[in-house]
Amino acid sequence: MSSTSSEIRSQKRFYSGRKVLVAGGAGFIGSFLVDRLLDFGAKVSVLLRPSTDPWRLRHLHGRVRLFRVDLNDRRMRDILKRERPSVVFNLAARVNSASGHNAFRATLVENVTNAFRLLEAARFAGVERFVQTGTIAEYGRGAVPFREGQRERPTSAYAVTKVMATHCALWFGAASGMGVMVVRPAATFGPRQAPGMLVPNLIV
């Protein structure tokens, strides 16, 4: 659903001059979020893994602050404390289609444990709002069309851990008083998307 002109003006008023941190901002969806935040006048910082190639952000050279740090690194908390963002978006995740105990363990750490670490760091830094990014895959075998309030029925280790991260974030917000919300993007596609995804393959 596209935003109305009044909604866009309201978003610009909210973000103008505000510090925002995006974990996973070098990814497909994250890079477009960074673009929009800059358009709204936000001061944007991005957390990305040390091994990540930030090619999707090269057109923004000098306009964003990049911090290469894993979410399980204590320096991540120090960065948030120093930057003191008003809003944090968490788009960092491991998308893993593999099965088995070892695959689930790695996905669990990346998508749940690290999300909790970022939530803790955000609260410690006095963040006002935290946005956890989920996925339509959380609904899995659920009845269609999917509705926000229905029970999730995940079918992969990735989807299971994203469900866990969703409820972890919502619980953390209720327990800590920090404003927390979850969004679940569905069937996103467009420029900068990695090959191998459904829609790019169909277009090619």
Question: Along the 204 residues of the chain, how does pLDDT read in single tens digits?
Answer: 457 899 999 999 999 999 999 999 999 999 999 999 999 999 999 999 999 999 999 999 999 999 999 999 999 999 999 999 999 999 999 987 666 777 788 899 999 999 999 999 999 999 999 999 999 999 999 999 999 999 999 999 999 999 999 999 999 999 999 999 999 998 887 888 776 666 666 665
**Among the listed residues 111, 43, 46, the one whose alpha carbon sits nearest the alpha carbon of residue 76:** 46
Pair 41, 136: CB distance under 8 Å: no
Q: What is the pTM of this model?
A: 0.91
The residues annotated with a catalytic role in the active site are 158
Q: Where are the beta strands (DSSP E) in the chain?
A: 19-23, 43-48, 65-68, 87-90, 129-133, 179-183
Give the integer Cα–Cα distance in Å for 146 and 154: 13
Q: Which two structure tokens, joined as six digits, stand for 36?
A: 């929009």
